[in-house]
A = this chain, B = another copy of it.
Amino acid sequence: MAKEPKIALIPLGGLGEIGKNMMTVRFGDKILVIDCGLMFPEEEMLGIDVVIPDITFLLENRDQVLGIVLTHGHEDHIGALPYVLRQINVPVYGTRLTLGLLTGKLKEQGIERDVQLHAVKPRDTVQIGPFKVEFIRVSHSVPDAVALAIHTPIGTIVHTGDFKVDHTPVDGEIIDFYKFAQLGERGVLVLLSDSTNVERPGFTLSEKVVGNTLDEVFRQARERIIMATFASNVHRLQQAITAAHRYDRKVAVVGRSMVNVVSIAHDLGYLSIPEGTLIEVEEAARLPKNKVLYISTGSQGEPMSALTRMALGDHRQVDIMPGDTIIISATPIPGNEKLVSRVIDLLFKQGANVIYDPVSGIHVSGHPSQEELKLMINLTKPKFFVPVHGEHRMLIKHARLAREMGIPPNHIFVCENGQVLEFSKRTGRLAGRVTAGRVLVDGLGVGDVGNIVLRDRKQLSQDGILIVVVTISKDSGAIVAGPDIVSRGFVYVRESEQLMDEVREKVRIILEKCFDKGISEWSAIKSQIRDSLGKFLYDKTRRRPMILPIIMDI
């Protein structure tokens, strides 16, 4: 009997975490990759810039990888491409704005010339090896977002990407209900669907709601308006610019990423800015206060962002003035709550009026709530269901929701990154694992910071370091210089001279004891110093600095 052909789905990111989304589809010896995102470091990843997926699996099957298709232009879906394309340079497919945002990133890394980008439109179909990929319009918090229908000899896989159902989108482009329904009618083998907001009942509000709120705020503001939001939320920017124009305000753009996105979105025709509305920041400073809108980065309270600098009175061009209306049109990403809260507090302190979430309607999510998730399942009527894009609990809750809608439990798969999901036309099962995980990027180093370095950074961050240096004569074993004691991040040295004297004396005694006992291996002496000094310092201070003995010989 011939072996039944199978298709495999292998997530390399985005499951059990928010960020670094990456899914692979394998049929025979051909692999297609969906998205290639980064995530921002967790709190304990000290000094790390970004986190990208481990692509060992792709590197091991380099010749099989046909291309990468993108659902939309957010960092958590495209941000790892500059790193990944350096290692596997395959064609990339995406809509125009998605590729525009990607190109900005590739340019920063100086590799935009080496990459093959293929622009597609919603309803386009592209044949990539055995995969016929159909791009389907969805609504999301960046324009030009698409879901994917991947037609394979085994059946059709639908990947929603990030989506919401917005019945009144800002650009009038409604999610392509017909396409999803048609796919459902013809038969969908597997649905992979966005789990981010599965904990929210009801429907996610329309982006237009924010437009109405902005209109109201602009109508009432008597002095300057400063609005911070996600740079990539082009529809939000559009609504702010439209409101500014309506109330006779000029618009100045502040913050590098905001300037970049406004320029890209404007060039590509995704942002319509009335003639003469956009002005330089210097010019804005000369206009009457009720004639200005600043659009700024910093909606997440990022320490180096424009809004944070303004709040700290540290921005080169814009000072906060009493009477300013400041709009933070965003909700804090988990982990940023305190940063955002501090910026708001600083702005209040400077006399500004700050409008922020949860003030109703100043921000709406770009992800689907429970009723939208149900709609997606009932439109596509999949045989198998795989919740993606979310922490583990969200995947579980999304699976529950699918079960309540009648999908049999053994047709629902809650997976982890690296698990292989294998489907025939009739069956689905877990079929082993491939390498998957997180690669930490720190400066130019990709993957060179591991557990040991992070553990050291953690210890250094808590109690600092104490270094003991001594030079010993090879011949006599006598101390010829030192012991010198240097510490950083442990105690304020000028106020701790006595403690440092005691440490020096302590080391001298330890060394003498070692010599007396005939201990001469340095490792043994160092370990003696670490142990005795560690105990001594803990007793004295209840702190555990890293202790680093360095012995030189001459």
Contacts and interface: CB of A to CB of B under 8 A. Distances in A.
A154 interface: no
Interface SS of chain A: mixed
Interface in A385-440: 391-393, 396
A61 interface: no
A464 B541 contact: no
A465 interface: yes
A464 B469 contact: no
Contacts of A542: 443-445
A471 interface: yes
A519 B480 CA distance: 24
Contact of A471 (B460, B463, B481): B481
Copies of this chain: 2
Contacts of A489: 46-47, 453-454, 456-457, 460
A449 B461 CA distance: 13
A272 interface: no
A546 interface: yes
A509 interface: no
Given A453-B464, A456-B464, A488 B548 contact: yes
Nearest to A486: B550
Interface string A162-183: 0000000000000000000000
Interface string A322-362: 00000000000011011001001100110000100000000
B488 A546 contact: yes
Contacts of A540: 444
A554 B345 CA distance: 56
Interface residues of A, number: 63
A442 interface: yes
A445 B538 CA distance: 11
Contacts of A391: 341, 345
B464 A467 contact: no
A539 to B, nearest CB: 9
Nearest to A353: B396
A287 interface: no
A376 to B, nearest CB: 22
A265 interface: no
Given A348-B393, A541-B445, A550-B486, A465 B465 contact: yes
B464 A457 contact: yes
A312 to B, nearest CB: 13
A1 interface: no
Contacts of A481: 471, 552-554
B43 A480 contact: no
A468 to B, nearest CB: 10
Interface in A518-539: none
Contacts of A543: 47, 442-445
A482 B552 contact: yes
Contacts of A84: none
A471 B484 CA distance: 12
A413 to B, nearest CB: 15
A491 B448 contact: yes
A327 to B, nearest CB: 15
Contact of A488 (B345, B456, B462, B496): B456
Contact of A462 (B452, B457, B546): B457
Nearest to A348: B393
A338 B460 CA distance: 23
Contacts of A443: 541-543
A357 B524 CA distance: 53
B341 A334 contact: yes
Interface string A483-496: 01010111110011
Nearest to A479: B554
Contacts of A482: 552
A225 to B, nearest CB: 18
Contacts of A546: 488
A416 to B, nearest CB: 9
A450 interface: yes
Nearest to A391: B345
Contact of A348 (B396, B452, B461, B550): B396
A122 interface: no
Interface string A234-250: 00000000000000000
Given A16-B345, A481-B553, A482-B552, 4 more contacts: A47-B464, A453-B464, A456-B489, A552-B552
12 contacts: A16-B345, A443-B542, A445-B542, A449-B492, A453-B464, A460-B464, A465-B488, A467-B467, A481-B552, A481-B553, A484-B552, A554-B554
**Which A-B residue pairs are the 10 nearest by beta carbons?**
A443-B542, A461-B461, A460-B460, A456-B489, A47-B462, A348-B393, A457-B489, A481-B552, A335-B338, A443-B543
